[in-house]
Structures are given as structure tokens and as C-alpha cells.
Amino acid sequence: MTMIQNPVLPGFNPDPSILRVNEDYYIATSTFEWFPGVQIHHSRDLVNWRLLPHPLTRKSQLNMVGNVNSGGIWAPCLSYADGVFYLIFTDVKSRKGAFKDTHNYLCTATDIMGPWSDPIYLNSSGFDPSLFHDEDGSKWLVNMLWDHRKGKNKFAGIVIQEFSVEQQKLVGPVKNIFRGTDLKLTEGPHLYKHNGYYYLMTAEGGTQYEHAVTMARSESLFGPYEVDPTNPILTSSGHPELELQKAGHASLVQTHTGEWYLAHLCGRPVKDNYCNLGRETALQRCEWTEDGWLRLAGGGNTPRLQVEAPDMVPHPFDKVPEKDDFDSQELDVNWSTLRIPAEESWLSLSERPGYLRLRGMESMSSEHRQSLLARRQQHFCCEAETEIEFQPETFQQMAGLTVYYDTEDYVYLRITHDETLGKCLGIIQSKHGQYDELLAKDIPLLDGPCRLKAVIEREWLQFWYFQPQQSEEWIKIGDPIDITHLSDESGDYIKFTGTFIGVCVQDLSGTQKHADFDYFIYKECLSPPENARRVSNQRDGIKV
């Protein structure tokens, strides 16, 4: 029996919206402040998944300059009707305090690979928008309603309004069709039609450890909605022993073989309640009861690590290469930039063929224009390596390898210039917004290329460096660093993304000093930090 191994989309891939078109399956997930916007994965068997080109790739589609941490793209919804793919999403501009500025948009494409249209503005009344295509051809937008008033329920219910394809806008009255259950924090709505009922699936309990999936149904689109008597239909709450925590925010699909699956958000703690990989996507097999309610196959309402796969021919995809030599003229689809697109003004794969050239821009604290290229951490134990050529002339110029959560939480192995040491290497960190550079004493470097490595084992990070001009082996720099602060749960406010690993350059003098990167390696690693030297040394004949 073929099994689905959860999570099917490891690493930062939250708020899944699953869609079937004929025998192809797609999952769209949130990307928050990372560009390009919205990840779409594709499968032919629900077991094997590959990342497709992103739909939101242009400034005209998505402008996130100045967006707050954990703002940007929230909870996309992917749907299909009449030969057209519909992508609904929220661009969150502010999220702290009483108010939330949550603008909802629609883009379309006739091919999942694009091109996707420029966005149509829909509304700003709340987040988690979803488009429902009814059997009569009408289309309806649902989203949660945000109420900023003191003493009110902030999550004020699920509202619905018709979308006119002809007028390309929302039309008609707005109706509040569901005010939630006792679990509260009602969000993430999706509507389905099955056996004469409209089913409204919502996420409740908040996207942390009380998260849950709830269901209600009605014979009318506008309600009243009868609440499932056994809600929640999926949750990890109250089960700290489960590896998949935070189960919630789900969407439903029926396979072309007649089977039912629920795609849902989950998180896997690396230690205590810290989820450094962010919120991920898992699948659960479902079935309908005789009285018309959705249940997990096999009983219960808790998520499983392994789930029986549908009756389909296996369809594996090529593995993602561990090494990017930057030989292509286009960035690999697994790379992301922070808030802004990868433009020639600051990122080039052609100025020096075979190298990634980054021109330094703003600081690691900037929510506007950072010169940073990174990919998701997808394994508890992993290592990343790069080779950099950089000749800083001032302490305001820096470049190197970063393990990054957001502008307030990161660890950075950076090359810079010191008036006494000259070119040097050291570690800086921001923890809950507090800057620190005492993690390791700066080390003088010789001119020429330098290799940098990060080795992560769950909550521990160890940096290494190697310069063939001065050593025959990799050298550890600093002690192991506790990186539990690179997680959703760390700090005094809720965060929503996940850890990235990548390369970056800063030039705070404003001259756009550049650094060249020869390659980047990301791979799963089963060894502890003390054995971090082995792979690259063996590959390059360096003495261990």
C-alpha cells in the first residue's frame, strides 16, 4: 500500500488551498513578505509534489515595499472554472494593534504556469478570502470580517458577496453568514457543495496550538448554517504527543478516483513549542458519514504522519538539486527575495557568468529594500554552504551567509571591514530586535574567495569557514547558537513565516558595493555540528 508521508510540503508552506483540475492537483500556500508571491505545488498522485513557477512575479501584481514582518500574502485561494484559474489572496499592510489593513485581490490565468493577470481589487474588510463557484455559474467571495472596535469580537464572522465576471468586481449586498463556534477566532473559510448541502469549512482557535478545522452546513448559500455536532473535525489541541501540531486551516478535494482528502496547516516543534520550520502542509484522508458529515478516515480527529494514498499510478518528480552553480540566466524557482523582485539593479546572473552578483542595499532591519536571496529551511537537520568573493572597504559594507526569520530575528555570518583588522569575518545576531555582535570574535581574512557554511541540528546552529590560502580544513567559528528565536513562537507577538537560509549584501554607505557568490548548497544533514566539515572537504580534496 502506497502511503502519503506528512508533511507533504515541509518547511514554510502554510494555509493550503488544494485544487484538482482533471487528473492534476495543485496546492497554493502563503508566502507573506517573501517575493515572488504565492507558492503553487503540483502533483499527479498526492504523494509526490513539485514547486511550479510563482504566479505573482511583477511589481504590478504585488508591491510589498514597506510591508510589516509577517504581512504580505496571506491565505491564497486557488480555484478553477470555465477554463480559467482564479487566484484570490490578501496583501496585509499592517497587523499590529487594533487595526489590520488587509487588501484582497483576484488574479487569473488560463494556464497554471502563467502568465497571470494583474490583480483586480476586491475588498479590504478582512483576510482569508476564498472564491466559491456555484453550480449555476455564479461566483461568491467569502472572507472573515475584522472588527477593530474595543470590546467586540475581532473575528466577527464570515461574510459573503457575489463576484461579477462581467463587471470584474464584487456586486450586491454583503451578508454575514456564520459567526463561528465556541472555539472562536473564526477564519480561513471555504465553501463546498455536496449532496444538496452547502458546506462551510473554517479555521478556528487561532493558528497556534489550539488551531482546529470546523464544519457547518446549510441548504441555502446564505444560511442558516448548522454546526457539525462533533466539531472540530481536525485538531492537534490537547495532544502534545503528536508530531504534527497546530492542525487547522484546511481545504478539501475529491480525487478523480472518487476519494476525499483534506489539505491542512501543521507545525512540527524542534524543541518545546518552537517551530523553526514554520507552518507546513499535510494531507489527511477523509470520508462522508451516512448523515452527511465529513470525518477523517479511520476515525478520530487528530492528524496522522502517514496516510493511505489514493488509488493512482505513482508519479514521482526529479529531486531538487542540492547545489545551485548559478550557471542559468534565471533564478531557480526555490529562491525567494525579501519584499521586492529580483531585478538587475541589485541582482545579476549575467554580469559575471557562473556567479550570483548581489549589490548591497539597505540594512537587515529594513522593511523596504534588502539585497537578500534565500530559500526555505525544510529539514530539522541541514547544512548550507556558499563561496563568496567580497572586498569591503568600510564597516558599513557586509556580505555573507544568513539564517533568517525576519528583520528582528536572524543570525548572520558576515564579511566586513574593520579599521584595525582589515577584511574580517564574524557573526552578528538580532534576537527579538536586539542587535548583538559578541557571538564570536572577528577573524582577519585574506583576499580572495572564502567558503561559508551553516550546519543546523534542530535548535542549534554552528557556523564554519574555509580559506585555502590560510588553512587545509574547515574552521569552526563561534560556539553553537540556539536559534529557537527563529520561530513563530518566539518574541512578544505572533509571527507567521519560517526560517530561510541564504546570502545577502549590505552597503550602508549607499555605494552598492557588490559581492559574488560562486554556488550555494542546501542539503539535509543527519550528522551533528561537530562533523560538519565532511561533505565539502571530501568533494574538493581538502584535508579533514
The helix, strand and coil proportions of the chain, stated in percent and rounded to the nearest 5, come to 0, 50, 50
* Residue in this structure with the C-alpha cell 536571496, named with its chain if needed: 373
Task: Determine the straight-line distance between the first and last CA of the chain, rounded to whole angstroms.
Answer: 44
What is the chain's length? Answer: 544
Q: Which one of 33, 187, 228, 280 is the catalytic residue?
A: 187
Q: What phi, psi does 529 have (nearest 5°)? A: -55, -30
CA dihedral 393, 397, 403, 405 (to 10 degrees): 180
Residue 423 in contact with residue 397, Cβ under 8 Å? no
Q: Which one of 15, 280, 389, 406 is the catalytic residue?
A: 15
Q: How far is it, in rounded angstroms, from Cα 310 to Cα 66?
A: 44
Q: How far is it, in rounded angstroms, from Cα 274 to Cα 486?
A: 8
Q: How far is it, in rounded angstroms, from Cα 437 to Cα 218?
A: 58
Residue 54 in contact with residue 76, Cβ under 8 Å? no
**Does the annotation mark 308 as catalytic?**
no
**Does the annotation mark 111 as catalytic?**
no
Helix (H, G, I), strand (E, B), or coil: what is residue 314? coil
Q: How far is it, in rounded angstroms, from Cα 91 to Cα 86?
A: 16
Q: How far is it, in rounded angstroms, from Cα 418 to Cα 440?
A: 15
DSSP secondary structure of 340-386:
S---TTTEESTTTTTSEEEE-BS-TT-SS--EEEEEE--SSEEEEEE
Active site residues: 15, 187
